[in-house]
């Protein structure tokens, strides 16, 4: 199979959504038609799967970046930032000899203890 043909097929298939099973099925069809031989077929499946994984990783990175921007734009704390604030508050309470946050409502106290929002 020529390099150009391989590139065209990769683009046409959409490596982002291609699974190994689907790639193997497609290559089996091409092999049965005589378009590719067995060695080319195995190489082609590996290439499709590798490119699909690269595309998934790139998409994951892009989504993570957009989510971080959105969180920042909205002013929402990350879990790590919240944990830092919580730890700092605890140190301040200990320094001032204050009791931990207490409430009269058992349900609200349970949420506080489980770090759940009210």
41-85 confidence digits (pLDDT tens)? 778 778 877 887 888 788 788 888 888 888 888 888 888 999 999
What contacts 42, CB < 8 A, 6 or more positions away? 27
Question: Which pair of tokens denotes residue 91?
Answer: 């140190």
* d(C-alpha 87, C-alpha 32), whole Å: 64
Q: What is the pLDDT of residues 21-34, one digit of tens each?
A: 777 787 788 788 87
Residue 36 dihedral angles phi and psi, to the nearest 5° = -140, 155
Structural domain spans, the chain: 3-74, 79-113
State how far Cα 83 lies from the chain centre. 22
């Amino acid at each position: 199979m020529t390099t150009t043909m391989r590139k065209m097929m990769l683009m046409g298939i959409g490596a982002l959504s291609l699974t190994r099973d689907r790639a193997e099925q497609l290559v089996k069809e091409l092999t049965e038609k005589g378009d590719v031989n067995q060695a080319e077929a195995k190489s082609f499946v590996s290439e499709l799967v590798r490119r699909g994984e690269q595309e998934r990783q790139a998409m994951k990175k892009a989504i993570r970046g957009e989510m971080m921007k959105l969180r920042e734009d909205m002013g929402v704390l990350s879990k790590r930032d919240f944990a830092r604030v919580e730890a700092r508050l605890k140190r301040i309470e200990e320094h001032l000899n204050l009791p931990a946050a207490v409430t009269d409502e058992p349900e609200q106290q349970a949420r506080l203890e489980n770090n759940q929002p009210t």
